[in-house]
Amino acid sequence: MTTGTSSGEAFDIVRANGGIPMGCAIAFDRQERGNDGERSATQEFTKNYGILVYAAATLDDLILLLEEGPAIPKAAETLPKILAYRDQYGAK
């Protein structure tokens, strides 16, 4: 989830057709800052729509995996790039 716009549109479509959204499942949560700059996009989505977001994996999960090092090909060169990405776009 980046900004939650697509998920919000899906929420609205479900509601407009009589459905009751119970949660939002995403494959990967990049844990980026939301539009308000205070929360992550998933936290903002939960606040705006009143349902929880469930991620199969998060940016923190990826970082932990890369920190394990030698078992992951190119982890040493990838980890600094992922950390820089988190510093630039990540929720605080």
Residue 45: the pLDDT is: 93
Please name the residues in contact with 88: beta carbons below 8 A apart, sequence gap of 6 or more. Answer: none
Query: Residue 44 belongs to what H/E stretch?
Result: helix 41-49
Mean pLDDT, the chain, whole residue set = 91
- The answer to whether residue 85 scores a pLDDT higher than 90 is yes
> What's the whole-model pTM score?
0.83
Task: Convert 32-51 to b/e letters by CB count within 10 Å (16 or more is b).
Answer: bbbeeeebbbbbbbbebbee
pLDDT at 37: 83
Domain boundaries, the chain: 5-89
Q: What is the pLDDT of residues 13-41, one digit of tens each?
A: 999 999 999 999 999 999 999 888 888 99
